Amino acid sequence: MSDSPVALVTGSSRGIGRAIAVALAETGHNLVVNYVRNAAAAAEVVHEIESLGRRAIAVPASVAITADRQRLLHTTIEQFQRLDVLVNNAGITSPGRKDLLDATEQSWDEVFSTNLKGPFFLAQQAAREMLAGLKSHTIQRGTIVNISSISAYAVSTDRADYCMAKAAQQMMTWLLATRLAEDHIRVYEVCPGVIASDMTAPVQEKYDRLIEAGLTPIRRWGTPEDVAQAVVMLASGALPFSTGERINVDGGFHIRRL
């Protein structure tokens, strides 16, 4: 068993998840790189992490599927014998972006399974493994980070299911933070704003105009690396007297202005 801390980052073959995985590797973590379909992209991330002198494995699993979540955690412990950090990053946008009056139950089930149900039950399993590691003195502390969105409080009527699932992640974070505080497991929510990624690529022109017009006090697109730096700070234990906190990485979007 390695003395290095181990981080599991869901949806880490691309975008924000990839940046988080690499940043954690740069700060001394070994990594479990999770993906659903793109094995080649996940292998590239593993190679990048290994080039930094860290150990990494790629594990295919959908957080929406119970058996996949169980296999993901089992493989992590089997390969590394510890879990120090869980980053619940995997998520999907609302299929078809339909007006809420045309939204379907199928879309609701798909979005909530991936963006809320899956992260909650993965965090539950991860917390159990962290508790075992703390009891055996295998790990010094546990950290769970839920990657949310400004859509948790900014309305998009063509993504009702997505907005509601992200809003519920704050309560999920508070619940886990409260339950696990005395066990030395800290739980946080990181709330990205407009981040340049393949998910936002289809609406690039729209947000280019909005940012130019002053959508955010910091007038630029956010990057996956911006989000990754927030996660690195939280995973480092830099905020030992904080838990359940929301860290906005949004260029100041959350500030109400007149």
DSSP E strands in the chain: the ranges are: 6-9, 30-35, 56-60, 85-88, 142-147, 185-192, 246-249
Does the annotation count 162 as an active-site position? yes
Burial 217-247 (b: 16+ CB within 10 A, else e): eeeebbbbebbbebbbebbeeeeeeebbebb
The answer to whether 96 and 158 are in contact (CB under 8 A) is: no
Closest alpha carbon to 29 in 50, 10, 59: 50
Q: Taking the CA atoms of the chain, what radius of gyration do you get in angstroms?
A: 18
Show the tokens assigned to 86: 């869980």
The 3-state DSSP class for residue 191 equals: strand
Per annotation, catalytic residue among 153, 162, 188, 207: 162
Show the tokens assigned to 245: 């906190």
The answer to whether 28 and 51 are in contact (CB under 8 A) is: no
CA distances 131 to 58, 123, 127, 134, 137, Å, are 24, 12, 6, 5, 10
Could you give the CA distance from residue 192 to residue 151 in angstroms, rounded to a whole number? 9
Could you give the CA distance from residue 140 to residue 142 in angstroms, rounded to a whole number? 7
Tell me which residues are annotated as active site: 162
